[in-house]
Structure 1
Amino acid sequence: MHSNPNDIPFVKPSAARYAQLGLLKIAENACRQHGDKVWIGEEDDAMLLLAGARHIRFFLENESSFPKELEHTASVRRILLGQSLITAREGEEWRLARRLTAPMVNPKSTLLKKGTQLSAQWLVAALQDPKQDSMQEVCLQWALMCVAQGFVGPTLSPPQLNTLISHFRKIYLELIVAAPTEDYAALCQHPSLAAFREELESMIGPLITGGGGGAGNINMLQRFCQALDINAHPQERERAISMLLGNLAASVDNTGIALLWCLIHLSQHPHYQDWVREESRHAKRDIACAIVKESLRITPVTAFFERGTEGPLEIDGAVIPAGTKVLFSPWLVHRNASYWPEPLSFRPERFLEGRKIAREYFVPFSVGKRNCVGMALALDQLTTAIETLCSHCHFSLAPSTVPAALTPICGLNVMPRGPICFTIESLGRVTQHEYIA
């Protein structure tokens, strides 16, 4: 006998409650009070939060029933990124974007491998410079340097690309604010969007070409232009630019904030820095990789991923109607004691013990066919950065750090709530200074 979806508990936070706590804390409280299946919102516009590992497994077994179709009323990212991989609808459009992107985010790519190594060295120099004062900005700049040449070549400098991405974030937030009161057509004509597109064209447009170097030196933009044959099909020019921007934004924001969380955890557990340093002397980096994975487990930068139901679905005995918005939560699965002993303890050894970890227990890059296409690259970049940094510096949380600053807040991704101070000590030098995130 099926139960009614209305039997699933409802949590109806007010707008003020959303503003005060944010969705992440509301979801945590809802699951603590009602279990791992709960409606959030008003009845006519509620999301179904499925926060158990069995729900992730159900999704994997029934993925075709959970399309990622973005409605016009909720497609601010699609307005900005057009037909990019991130926002592409199911079907040939998405398959094309995935096929073109996958080879260009391979960590063994000549250009990206070079970028990963050089940016790690830059990171060490930046953190040893007491003039720098924002760890968050340094981490984002590091992530940008990792991919800049591999994505667009050497013509645009990292500061130019950083300006572009900063404007992207600003416009995205402006459109999110405007979305509830303006229809899709009005959002597409938003003045700030027009100015951003003009800036994007002025920076990326001159780099567009159908040519390129050898297979090991071709950058992402050249790859897109060749595959879409924009010389013969100039209408594909906008698609090439939007696909590039989508990959660039995702590669910088998520990876940069992931590094910041890695440094926060390592600052509180300095013995792991010694462990990384010792392994590095023997050309090993197992513990560095485990540290990255444990950081992504306890503080995944993507707390939720959303899907819709194509038709009625039976989930835990309840028949969920077609068109339901469903939230799956890496954050809540990763912090559930049923799957991870002492889930709030930072223990990278979990990933060294040889224990097979069920696929549905660890999903920091989402899961299924639409998981992050660049996850192998991000893991390599983060591991290289941690190994290099620990080999040159010792870092800890400064006494001036307010504990509340470490609590997460979910915006574009999961970030620390406030400024965090680090004490950086250069190994082999008698220098020490504070660094503010």
Structure 2
Amino acid sequence: MSSNSSAIAIVKPSAAKYAQLGFLKIAESACRQHGDKVWIGEEKAAVLLLAGARHIRFFLENESSFHKELENGTSVRRLLLGQSLITAREGEEWYLARKLTAPLVNPKSVLLKQGTQLSAQWLVEALQAPEKNSVQEICLQWALMCVAHGFAGSTLDPMQLDSLINHFRKIYLQLIIAERTEDYAVLSQHPALTAFREELESMIGPLITGDGGGNVDMLQRFCQALDINAHPQERERAISLLLGNLIASVDNTGIALLWCLTHLSQHPHYQDQVREESRHGTRDMASAIVKESLRLTPVTAFFERTTLGPLEIDGAVVPAGTKVLFSPWLIHRDASYWPEPLSFRPERFLEGRKIAREHFVPFSVGKRNCVGMALALDQLTTAIETLCSQCHFVLAPSTAPAALTPLYGLNVMPRGAICFTLESVGKVTQHECIA
């Protein structure tokens, strides 16, 4: 931190504060007290939080001056996913990953479109089931079903993929804790990681043939593009790319659906509008509901970059190597950009008003924005339209208000159990399910 950049306010939360409030609340409090530009943390480990829309504009205009920090390639996510789209550093490997993935997450893809439609109907049936189920788990299962066939073909059962993803989450959290005391070389030999790699290879490895035959799923396309028959060393890259896309498509999209349902359950009159539009073959309101939910509760609260050289930001010079956090969460909840920002008003996205690019960034921005953005929006919109056409649901009285507050971890999710009371349209059955 240079002397000039020290003119920016700095907040140094104690470990107890982090444990009590979490980083999201600390960031919100820091911005309330000091404005939308503030250092958070101790001197050498401080990150610069930039929470204004002008900072997004600055980033887009100067994107070449930032890069995605991976701590020299030693991040836990990189260790787990290898040269995947999510963790790849700038350069040849990232451009290759992006080039291979982008065409395969098109919502118009036959396999993915089929998965989106079938999983939406499955969601309705799962929520209508009389037994009490976890809505969070249902949402994650729905997200996996949307892409399972299109990503890995029909050979793997979705339950097998679900087991693999749950194992990934468990190992990721385990390695994050171990990272505090172990160096990268030791982590690479961690017994839990070895077990995970064995599971990954035993499950996905047999699906790799290299020729693809008549298949058009993501894994086979990766194998064809990387020509693993001629270059067997690319086999691991194909597996890592598939896993990286699976993780991103399930966790973020599943939790985004959970937030959509949570908001919609508290404003059931919008369900009637979706139902009426669906009868006429349109889904503008369903799409607006999804976008408003992503505005109010973006599952990605922050995205991080690192400055490649000294940069002047708002008149202050920040040095090279500065970790910078941009915040969709704080921008989306800023009254300067959104009237009544804490109110759920899908009409914002129907009024014909052009929304500035820097005011709505639920999928990040720039060349490293979410490659599956269009697919996720289509999946969520289809799910909302299908559910509202067949069900009416409200937030159950048994839901504690505290459960609705956000918990920031791998992504932003509701803090506690959420209960919905569902009633099938045109039927008298009613039951409650639990998130």
Q: Secondary structure at the match of 1:84?
A: coil
Worse overlay, 18-27 or 67-76: 67-76
Q: What are the superposed Cα offsets for residues 236-280 of structure 1, whole Å, 9 maximum, x if unpaired?
A: 111000010000000000000000000000000000000000000
Letter in 1 for 2:201: E
Deviation at 1:213, TM superposition (A): 4.7
Q: Which residue of 1 aligns with 2:225?
A: 227
Q: Which residue of 1 aligns with 2:403?
A: 405
Q: Which residue of 2 aligns with 1:164?
A: 164
Q: Which residue of 1 aligns with 2:372?
A: 374
Q: Answer whether contact 1:126 1:132 (CA < 8 A) is retained.
A: no
2:413 equivalent among 391, 412, 415: 415
Q: Answer whether contact 1:72 1:184 (CA < 8 A) is retained.
A: no
- Cα 1:213–1:94 shift into 2, 3 Å: same
Q: Which residue of 2 aligns with 1:140?
A: 140
- Cα 1:314–1:91 shift into 2, 3 Å: same
Q: Secondary structure at the match of 1:245?
A: helix
Deviation at 1:231, TM superposition (A): 0.8
Q: Which residue of 1 aligns with 2:206?
A: 206
Pairing of 1:274-423 with structure 2 (within 5 A) = 274-423=272-421
Deviation at 1:74, TM superposition (A): 5.8
Measured in 2, the distance between the counterparts of 1:367 and 1:73 equals 22
Measured in 2, the distance between the counterparts of 1:39 and 1:121 equals 47
Task: State the percentage of identical aligned residues.
Answer: 83
Letter in 2 for 1:20: Q
Pairing of 1:66-215 with structure 2 (within 5 A) = 66-72=66-72, 75-214=75-214
Deviation at 1:211, TM superposition (A): 2.0
Q: Which residue of 2 aligns with 1:258?
A: 256
Q: Secondary structure at the match of 1:170?
A: helix
Deviation at 1:114, TM superposition (A): 0.2
Worse overlay, 131-140 or 67-76: 67-76
> Runs of 5+ in structure 2 lacking a partner?
none
Worse overlay, 338-347 or 11-20: 11-20
Deviation at 1:132, TM superposition (A): 4.2
Letter in 1 for 2:177: V
Q: Answer whether contact 2:212 2:223 (CA < 8 A) is retained.
A: no
Letter in 1 for 2:91: G
Measured in 2, the distance between the counterparts of 1:420 and 1:163 equals 24
Deviation at 1:73, TM superposition (A): 7.7
Measured in 2, the distance between the counterparts of 1:19 and 1:189 equals 30
Runs of 4+ in 1 over 4 A off after TM superposition: none
Q: Which residue of 2 aligns with 1:29?
A: 29
Letter in 2 for 1:322: A
Measured in 2, the distance between the counterparts of 1:82 and 1:16 equals 34
Q: Answer whether contact 1:73 1:179 (CA < 8 A) is retained.
A: no
Measured in 1, the distance between the counterparts of 2:74 and 2:50 equals 20
Q: Answer whether contact 2:73 2:89 (CA < 8 A) is retained.
A: no
Letter in 2 for 1:67: H
> Runs of 5+ in structure 1 lacking a partner?
none
Measured in 1, the distance between the counterparts of 2:97 and 2:270 equals 39
Q: Secondary structure at the match of 2:367?
A: coil
Deviation at 1:135, TM superposition (A): 0.1
Deviation at 1:20, TM superposition (A): 1.2
**Paired residue total:** 434
Letter in 2 for 1:100: L
Q: Answer whether contact 1:148 1:158 (CA < 8 A) is retained.
A: yes
Q: Answer whether contact 2:107 2:375 (CA < 8 A) is retained.
A: yes
Measured in 1, the distance between the counterparts of 2:128 and 2:254 equals 18
Instruction: Give the alignment's TM-score, normalised by structure 1.
Output: 0.98
